A and B are shown apart, each in its own frame.
Chain A
Amino acid sequence: MPVHHFIPEEPLVESLTDALSTPLKLYPTKPEKVYVFGTCLVDLFYPEAGMSGVVLLEHAGVEVLFPQDQTCCGQPAYTSGYKEEARLVALAQMSIFGEDYPIVVPSGSCGGMMKTHYPRLFEGTEHHQQALDFSERIYELTDFLVHVCDLSLEDKGERTKIALHTSCSSRREMKTTDSGKLLLGQLKNVALVEPKKVTECCGFGGAFSVRHSEISSAMVKDKVMHLSNTKADAFLSSDCGCLMNIKGAAEKDKSALTLRRGEHLLSFVARRAGLIADGVEV
C-alpha cells in the first residue's frame, strides 16, 4: 500500500507545473445515458431541483436513468465520524449503478463526497478499487450540463438580477465553481452579480450547524448580508445544504428582505427555459 500518498509517482516539478497550468479535469464525450443520483435532501426537500436536472439533461438529449434503490451518499455519517455506518451506506450506493454510465449529482457536496471521499472511505478495504472507479464517474449536474452536454437554452423569463452562491465543495472538491456562471450565462435576461467574500463558507457543514450552532449562525448571517447587499432579486445555489441554510437564515432575518427568494440553480434555469412550470414538467 503506497502510504506517502501525496507524493506523485514521478516527483518532477516541471511536469507538474505544466499540468497545473492547464485544467486537470477531463470530461467524457456526451453519453447516450446517465444515472442521476438524487441525494436525500433533494429527495425530501427539493424534488423540483432534481426534476429540473432530469428535464435539462433530457433536453440536452441525454437519457436519464434513476435507480430507485439509491438513498444517501453517506456524507452525514462520514462527516460525523461514523465511518463504518457511512461505508455500509456508501457501499449500497456503489452497487446499484451497474452500467458504466456517468453518475450525475444535483448537489456539490454529495458529489464531493462520492468523488473525493469515497476513495478515502474505502482505503485499506477490499472495495478500494471499486470506490476509485466509482468516483471517476461522478459529475456535478450543472457542470455536466455545461461541459459535457452542449445544452442550449432560451430565456423565457423577465429581466432579473441574480446572486449566485458557489459552495465550498463545488469550489474545493468538485472544482466546478465556474459552471453555474456558465449555465446562467445562457440566459440573456439574467444579470449575475457576485457577492463579497464569495469564497467564504455559508456555515452549513451538516451536523456542525447544530453542534456549533452559534458559530454556524454567525457565518450564515454574514453570508446573507453579503448576498442581500448585492440587491439581487434572488439568490441561487447548486448545493442543497447551503440552500437550506442560507434560505432558512434569510427568511428569518428581517433585514434581508430582498433575499427571501432563494432556490436551487437547476430549478431556476429549467423554469426560465420554460421546461418546468409550477414544479411540473412541460
Chain B
Amino acid sequence: MNARQAILDKLQQSSLKRIGDGDVIPDRPGFQVMQRERKSNAQLSQQFENMMAKVKGEVIRVPQEELESRLNAIIEAKAIKTLLLSPESPYKASFSGLLDEVRIYDKAIESWKEALFNDIDAAITSTLGGIAETGTLVLWPSVSEPRLMSLVPPIHIAILYESQMQPTFWHFMHHHNWSEGMPTNALLISGPSKTADIEQTLAYGVHGPKELVIVLVEE
C-alpha cells in the first residue's frame, strides 16, 4: 500500500470511529471576533500609516494629480540610479531624464538574474490595497509585475490608493472574494525586510528590500 493510502486510511478509520461514537462534526466556527467598527477611509489610512511607521515603512501622502512629480522627487531624494519598472508602467518616459537607466521587467528572470540582483537600485510596483490594522500592503504579482520586483531591489516603492484600504486581512480577502481563486502568488508586505536573529537586535534589510516607500495616493 502506498503512503498516501496508508495515511488516509488511518485518518479515516479514526474519523469513522468518532462518528460511530456519536460524535458530530461541528459547524464552522463564527468569526464575529474578526469584525471591526466601521471606519472611514481617512481613519483607516491614518491607522495604516501609524502601523507602517512602527516597522520603518515610509509613507508619503500624495494627491492624485501630483503623483508623477512626487515620484520624481522620491527618485531624486533617494539618489536612485537604476530603476525597475513594469512594462505597463505609465511613467517610463517621465523618469528617464533623472536616472542612469530605466529597466523594464519584460523577460524571464533566468536571462538576467545577475543584473536584477546586482544592478537595480529600486522598483516601483502597484498594490491591490492596504490593511489598516497591521499596516500591510497587499500585492498580487502578475505577468506585468513579477514577484521579484517587490523583493530583490534594495528599495521598493509601492503605490497605494487610499480608497483601497480595508480594516483587516480578513475583511480584505472577503471584499475581494479571494476564496474564488488565488493567483500563483499573493503577498502581504508590512515594512522592509528585517531580522532579530542576532540577540533580538532588530536589523532592517536582510534579504529583501532595505527600504519600503509607500506612496499613498489621496483621491
Q: Is B97 an interface residue (CB 8 A)?
A: no
Cross-chain contact A1 with B30 (CB below 8 angstroms): no
Query: Are B32 and A3 within 8 A (Cβ)?
Result: no
Produce 1/0 per residue, A1-23, CB < 8 A to B: 11110010001111001000000
Known: A1-B22, A4-B23. A17 touches B33 (CB 8 A): yes
Whether a CB of chain A sits under 8 angstroms from the CB of B31 is: yes
Hey, what's the 0/1 contact readout for A177-195 against B, CB within 8 Å counting as 1?
A: 0000000000000000000
B29 in contact (CB, < 8 A): yes
Contact of B27 (CB < 8 Å), options: A1, A11, A17: A11
Is B114 part of the contact surface with A, judged by Cβ < 8 Å?
A: no
The answer to whether A13 and B18 have CB atoms under 8 Å apart is no
A-B complex: 4 closest residue pairs judged by Cβ atoms: A13-B32, A13-B33, A14-B32, A13-B30
Chain A residue nearest to B34 (CB atoms) is A13
* 19 A-B pairs (CB sep. < 8 Å): A1-B21, A1-B22, A3-B18, A3-B21, A3-B23, A4-B23, A4-B26, A7-B26, A11-B26, A11-B27, A12-B30, A13-B30, A13-B31, A13-B32, A13-B33, A14-B30, A14-B32, A17-B32, A17-B33
Partner of A13, one of B26, B27, B29: B29
How many angstroms from the CA of A12 to the CA of B35 in the assembled complex? Answer: 13
Q: Give A185 to B18 CA distance when docked, in angstroms.
A: 51
Alpha-carbon distance between A5 and B45 when the two chains are bound, in angstroms: 42
Residues 71-113 of A, flagged 1 when their CB comes within 8 A of B and 0 if not, give: 0000000000000000000000000000000000000000000
A4–B25 CA distance with the chains assembled, in angstroms: 9
Cβ contacts under 8 Å, B26 to chain A:
4, 7, 11
Interface size class of A (residues with CB under 8 A): 10 to 19
Q: List B residues at the A interface (Cβ < 8 Å).
A: 18, 21-23, 26-27, 29-33
B31 & A2 in contact (Cβ 8 Å cutoff): no
A interface residue numbers (CB < 8 A to B): 1-4, 7, 11-14, 17
Using Cβ atoms and an 8 Å threshold, which residues of chain B touch A3? 18, 21, 23
Q: Which residue of B lies closest to A17 (CB)?
A: B33
Q: How far is the CB of B194 from chain A (nearest CB, A)?
A: 29
Residues of B within 8 A of A13 (CB): 29-33
Q: How far is the CB of A38 from chain B (nearest CB, A)?
A: 40
Number of A-B contacts (CB under 8 A): 24
CA distance A17 to B32 in the complex (A): 10
Rounded to whole Å, the gap between the CB of A239 and the closest CB of chain B is 34
Which chain A residue lies CB-closest to B28? A11
Shortest CB-to-CB span from A261 to chain B, Å, is: 39
A17 to B27, CA, bound (A): 19
- Please name 11 further chain A to chain B contacts, defined as beta carbons within 8 Å, in addition to the given A1-B22, A7-B26, A13-B32, sorted by A numbering: A1-B21, A2-B23, A3-B18, A4-B26, A11-B27, A11-B29, A11-B30, A12-B30, A12-B32, A14-B32, A17-B32
Chain A nearest CB from B42 CB (Å) reads: 28
Which residues from A are CB-within-8-Å of B30? 11-14
B25, closest chain A residue (CB): A4
| Nearest CB of A to B78, in Å | 46
Residues on B with C-beta less than 8 A from A17 are 32-33
* Interface-centre pick from A1, A7, A13, A17 (highest chain B CB count, 10 A): A13
Nearest chain A CB to B170's CB is how many angstroms away? Answer: 13
Provide the residues of chain A in CB contact with B18, threshold 8 Å. Answer: 3
With the chains together, A148 CA to B82 CA distance in Å? 75
**Chain B residue contacts of A14, Cβ below 8 A:** 30, 32
Tell me the minimal C-beta distance from A81 to chain B in angstroms.
24
Give A206 to B22 CA distance when docked, in angstroms: 38
Question: For residue B31, which residues in chain A have a CB less than 8 angstroms away from its CB?
Answer: 13
A221 to B63: give the CA distance in the assembly, Å. 62
Closest residue of chain B to A7 (Cβ to Cβ) is: B26
Chain B: minimal CB distance from A2 (Å): 7
For the complex formed, measure the closest distance between the CB of A53 and the CB atoms of chain B, giving whole angstroms: 41
B37 to chain A, nearest CB (A): 14
B11 to chain A, nearest CB (A): 15
**Cα of A48 to Cα of B29 in the assembled complex, Å:** 51
Closest Cβ neighbor of B18 among chain A residues:
A3
Complex CA gap A13/B29 in Å reads: 8
Min Cβ gap A14→B in Å is 5
A17 to B30 CA separation, bound complex (whole angstroms):
12
